Structure 1
Amino acid sequence: MKAKNELAQLSWLGPSVVTVGVFDGVHRGHQYLLDVLQSKAEAENYRSVVVTFLNHPGTILRPETSIQYLLPVDQRIRLLNGTGVNRVVSITFDKELSLLRPVQFIRLLSRTMDIKKFVLGPDFAMGYRREGTISVLQELGAGMNFTVEPVIPIELNGLWVSSTAIRNSLIDGKVNLASEMLGYLFSLRGRVIRGEERGKGLGLPTANLSVNPQIIVPADGIYATWTWVRGNRLASATSIGTKPTFGSHARTIETHILDFSENLYDSEIQVEFVRRLRDQWCFDKVDDLVNQMHKDVLEARIVLRGTKS
């Protein structure tokens, strides 16, 4: 069991208020729960501790299902640390860990910390076959000297804020809704690779982005975006899709950075999605495509002027 070795590397944390989960996206619901966590810990002079799984439990419990994340692990850990909690503990969810009963998992954590309270979402469950529901944990706590506090999720535009709701919004191309639930702009980070250089030939050069295949990509379409290049945040328009006008079937992510002409090959950039401008369209003539591309760039420029730079 990898988690046993990972926890053994940590120094003793002492009396702690603890939460457990993947925390993919570290969205506004997570941020609220972590605020409660810190408040409860500070009130008792305990440490606030986040135990996060490096991989989604679904990768072990449902290996036939592809799990797409909102954030790479390093960004997730950085955001969790940025919330101000005392300690972020990262452990691997493997087959051995999945077989632990709730009491066994708690005892495993207790080798590193003196758990005084769990702060958890209302649908949380831990342990083998999700046996450790809130009510079960409350019963265990009576004999193991800890309490359990469920935190009601927050609601936005009639939706409970959750990683699943955010993923669904991105699948639908609703990047503005996804960003509202995240509390920051959804982004994709990756390396610029060589493409077919069609954009350059059409007068609108693009950076072709190679991204982590485990990270979710928004629906096909044209987006107003900000692109981070070497520490600078630049206005851009981004296309996601298969370039049907040219008969291509390969899905690509291409970003045209406004008023920019530097060579970006092999550079790492990050694209922040502000708003979806339109669907992916197939044009009968290349000239019609070029005219629409110029309209897209103009619309992206107008949209981005109305947002913080």
Structure 2
Amino acid sequence: MEVCTLIPGQKFEPTVLALGNFDGIHLGHQELLKDGLEKARSLKTLFSVLLFDPHPLKVLHPDRKLELITGKDEKIMLFEKFGVDKVFLLPFSLEFAETTPQEFVENILLKIGVVHVTVGFNYSFGCHGKGKPGDLEKFGEAYNFGVSVVQAQMLDDRVISSTEIRRALLNGDIDLAKSMMGRAPTIIGTVVHGDGRGRDIGFPTANIETHEDLLIPKNGVYAVTAEIDGRIYGGMMNIGIVPTFKTGQEKIIEIHFFDFHGDLYRKDLFIDIQARLRAEKKFSGVREITEQLGKDMEAAKQKLQKQNFTKFME
């Protein structure tokens, strides 16, 4: 899969293009990608996705915490999995934010070489989001490209959306998030040095430093899996302020991997969150916390075994 940054004046070969923010790449997004891929195959063209880089809210509201479900790198990785041939990164700036819907079509979509565009039912484009799917269909008629509008995907009586998934993660509802995403939500970060406390009490942990724009689920203990050096390991993760040992409010992410022996320092890890085990607690001392960690480990292993991760417990 090719990833390229759009530069003014560039022209490309014909393509079917999927448009959207794709935060979470949930089941609704996946239906959109499936539609685009099928259209590209029928038209015998490439299938591409257009992403703004950086995220528009980062430019328009620099002081706002984004709390993204998926960062750019994970999106690109998932796009390839879902059959995308090319990802266009379109630089976003305050100046570009003034682009009208018609200018967006003429200066971006037509230059990319679109023969068909697929969008979600609530897609908006152009300055202040003035352009809607209906407007895109009219532009398609005028400039001779097709448009597919993918309707809302439902889970029971809920519309599957990034907003609903974000709310679920902040409430610690991993099961709902997984159901809407069609896979486990992830935490991506780099292993950094901690204070060594976990090793001292028999549960060595990897401390994870995440990108500041990514959403961190509700404080608590979770069963997780992660690929390390080509092998999947199960583990348990604590998200919180570690009240037994600290008095501050800084959120810390620590993971104890089962049966892993080695140095993870400076490694980048993709951690799949499989289940929430319990809320974060304050303990009376080391003995009480080590007893609870032993219970957490057994609970995490049981959760992973029930979800067919038995082979990761070896």
**TM superposition score normalised by structure 2:** 0.89
Q: Distance in 2 between matches of 1:295 and 1:159?
A: 35
Task: Tell me the number of residue pairs that the alignment of Structure 1 and Structure 2 aligns.
Answer: 305
Q: Distance in 2 between matches of 1:103 and 1:58?
A: 22
In structure 1, stretches of 5+ residues that fail to align are: none
Tell me by how many angstroms 1:190 deviates.
2.1
Aligned to 1:281: 281
Listed as ranges, the matches of 1:196-275 within 5 Å are: 196-249=195-248, 250-275=250-275
Q: Distance in 2 between matches of 1:209 and 1:63?
A: 24
For 1:148, the aligned partner's letter is V
CA 1:183–1:172: 2 relative to 1, 3 Å:
same
Tell me by how many angstroms 1:46 deviates.
4.0
Residue 136 (structure 2) pairs with residue 137 (structure 1):
yes
CA 1:112–1:169: 2 relative to 1, 3 Å:
same
Q: Secondary structure at the match of 2:95?
A: helix
**TM superposition score normalised by structure 1:** 0.90
Q: Deviations over 1:53-93 (max 9, x none)?
A: 22322222333322122223122112112221343212122
Q: Secondary structure at the match of 1:95?
A: coil
Residue 306 (structure 2) pairs with residue 306 (structure 1):
yes
Q: Secondary structure at the match of 2:244?
A: helix
Q: How large is the Cα RMSD of the aligned pairs? A: 2.2
Q: Deviations over 1:20-73 (max 9, x none)?
A: 122122222111111111223333344433212223222223333221222231
Q: Secondary structure at the match of 1:74?
A: helix
Question: What percentage of residue pairs aligned between the two structures are identical?
Answer: 29
Q: Secondary structure at the match of 1:85?
A: coil
CA contact (8 A) 1:81 1:88 kept: no
Q: Distance in 2 between matches of 1:258 and 1:248?
A: 28
Q: Secondary structure at the match of 1:109?
A: helix
Q: Distance in 2 between matches of 1:134 and 1:41?
A: 20
Q: Distance in 2 between matches of 1:18 and 1:269?
A: 30
Q: Deviations over 1:131-188 (max 9, x none)?
A: 1112222333332223432111211243222222221111111123222222222222
Aligned to 2:312: none
Q: Deviations over 1:172-211 (max 9, x none)?
A: 1112322222222222222222212221222211111111
Q: Deviations over 1:286-309 (max 9, x none)?
A: 322221111101111111112233
CA 1:8–1:305: 2 relative to 1, 3 Å:
same
Tell me by how many angstroms 1:10 deviates.
5.1
Q: Distance in 2 between matches of 1:195 and 1:42?
A: 50
Q: Deviations over 1:261-302 (max 9, x none)?
A: 323233333321110000011123332222111110111111
For 2:301, the aligned partner's letter is R
